[in-house]
Amino acid sequence: MVEFALILPVLCTLLLGALDFAHSLYMQSVLQGSLQKAARDSSLETGTEAAKQTELDTKVRDQIQALYKDATVSFSRRFYRSFSKAAAAQAETFVDSPVGNIWRDGLCNNGEAFVDANNNGVWDKDGGDAGQGRARDVVVYTVTVTYPRLLPVDKFVGGSGTNNFLATTVLTNQPYGDQGTYGTATAGVCPAS
């Protein structure tokens, strides 16, 4: 009895930790599966409509919140003209000039000039545009899920008690129309920091 009483807290902690870990794995697989389905549906001909995108996002959110109703789900769509540009995710070029005692901070800030390659009026650190894009555009669709752990066992070992999941998929929109093009790149000004 004494030995069992000594081992019981460790055994319970391991069991609860295993259950929490299994729930996290299941949540991640449901997130990835629902993301793949929604991304595929959004790449079809009707995918550029804002109402259709909202409907697909709602389906993903509903599947996640069926497992954990208090989960926070956020969505992001960035589009590029080709897979190579999406893979590179290169920032738009800018002139990194010195400010005070700081020499070249590596950030587009303090009114520095940049080349707005996609003519959207803002400096893009990944070179993409927000949204679904048009025909033949490559879309990077990302979903972030945050929720309190089912069983806060990780707090015993210094954890945060929160699960954070990120799932991303990349698809090409169907060729149902002409692909958009960018005009000649324009100059822009980085925001003040």
Highest mean pLDDT among 44-48, 110-114, 125-129: 125-129
Domain ranges of the chain: 2-189
Question: In this model, does residue 175 exceed pLDDT 80?
Answer: no
pLDDT, one tens digit per residue, over 36-92 is 888 777 766 555 567 778 888 888 899 898 888 889 999 998 989 888 888 888 888
CA angle centred on 170, ends 165 and 173, rounded to 5° = 135
Which helix (H) or strand (E) is 7 found in, with range? Answer: helix 2-42
- What distances in angstroms separate CA 175 from CA 34, 46, 134, 136, 140, one per listed residue? 24, 12, 9, 5, 17
Q: Model-level pTM?
A: 0.72
